[in-house]
């Protein structure tokens, strides 16, 4: 004998509420070298050979940064330490000015990140003019007597601890003091993609039956009908039992429910 259909037919409408969460980029450091070097310090917090000079190629910009000596481990460091989350971009302009005493393509301009006032690790340098330098992700800078604009996109998780920005004219390059120049340095956060937030409303159906028996939950989109669509079979763990139709969140159409005892 077939088990009877339970006397349960519900009409349920489902809906969802949604919102978009956004955030904007933020500039956390900017330097155009039109003032002084108060945002910078030397190794160990001491003196350095960074100097502000007029643009040597007259490109239309005013003052820029250069160095009066070559260095190892960083010549100037930001006085601020930056602690970021997520993705950020470092942008800057660089000019390598070849001279009779310098090696074209290896004039020594380097930019790096480190958490102290000395850069002891090759991997901490993120941009430089020496294509043979042993940093795994070094952005190669061009030494051709023309200003070039560069951007480096980094994830703070990959950088690690809070960091300072470091610049130098590398002592083991083929350049001479005063042939590497920087300008318009900026650190900017990258906004996350807009996040979509939604509140789902599910159909909750209370089933009263025989504990341990198997029932099939079904729905239809109109009544009267003989066209019922199976949702799932349920081994009733308790009575009454609250069953949620997770599929209902995907539609705003009205649904009618019934539960059939499976033989």
Q: What are the DSSP calls for 112-158, one per residue? A: EEESSSS---GGGEEEES-TT---TTPEEPP-SSS-EEEEEEEEHHH
Residue with tokens 């341990």: 212
CA distance 210 to 214: 9
Residues 182, 149: Cα–Cα separation, whole Å:
10
Any idea which residue has 């997520």 for tokens? 86
Q: Mean pLDDT per 10-residue run, the chain (263 residues)? A: 43 47 78 97 96 96 96 96 90 92 86 89 89 82 96 79 92 93 96 70 84 91 89 92 79 80 83
What is d(CA 229, CA 159) in angstroms, rounded to the nearest whole number? 54
Q: Which long-range contacts (CB under 8 A, 24 or more apart) does 20-25 make?
A: 20/194, 20/195, 20/196, 20/197, 21/194, 21/195, 21/196, 21/197, 22/191, 22/194, 22/195, 23/191, 23/192, 24/191, 25/188, 25/189, 25/190, 25/191
Residue with tokens 């160990």: 44
CA-only gyration radius of the chain, Å: 33
* pLDDT value at residue 1: 39
């Amino acid at each position: 004998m077939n088990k009877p259909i339970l006397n349960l037919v519900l009409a349920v409408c489902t809906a969802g509420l949604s919102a978009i969460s956004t955030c904007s980029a933020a500039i956390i450091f900017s330097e155009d070298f039109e003032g002084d070097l108060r945002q910078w310090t030397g190794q160990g917090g001491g003196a350095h050979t960074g100097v502000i000079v007029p643009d040597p190629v007259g490109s239309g910009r005013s003052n820029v940064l250069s160095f009066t000596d070559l260095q190892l481990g960083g010549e100037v460091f930001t006085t601020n330490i930056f602690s970021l989350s997520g993705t950020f971009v470092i942008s800057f302009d660089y000019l390598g000015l070849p001279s009779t005493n310098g090696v074209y393509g290896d004039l020594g301009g380097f930019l790096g990140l480190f958490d102290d006032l000395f850069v002891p690790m090759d991997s901490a340098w993120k941009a430089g003019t020496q294509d043979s330098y042993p940093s795994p992700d070094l952005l190669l800078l061009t030494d051709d007597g023309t200003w070039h604009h560069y951007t480096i996109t980094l994830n703070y998780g990959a950088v690690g601890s809070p960091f300072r920005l470091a610049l130098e004219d590398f002592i083991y390059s083929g350049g001479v003091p005063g042939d590497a120049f920087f300008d318009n340095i900026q650190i900017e956060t990258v906004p996350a993609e807009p996040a979509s937030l939604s509140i789902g409303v599910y159909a909750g159906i209370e089933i009263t039956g025989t504990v341990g028996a198997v029932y099939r939950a079904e729905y239809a989109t109109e009544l009267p009908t003989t066209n019922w669509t199976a949702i799932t079979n349920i081994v009733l763990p308790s009575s009454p039992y609250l069953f949620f139709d997770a599929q209902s969140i995907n539609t705003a159409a009205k649904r009618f429910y019934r539960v059939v005892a499976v033989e």
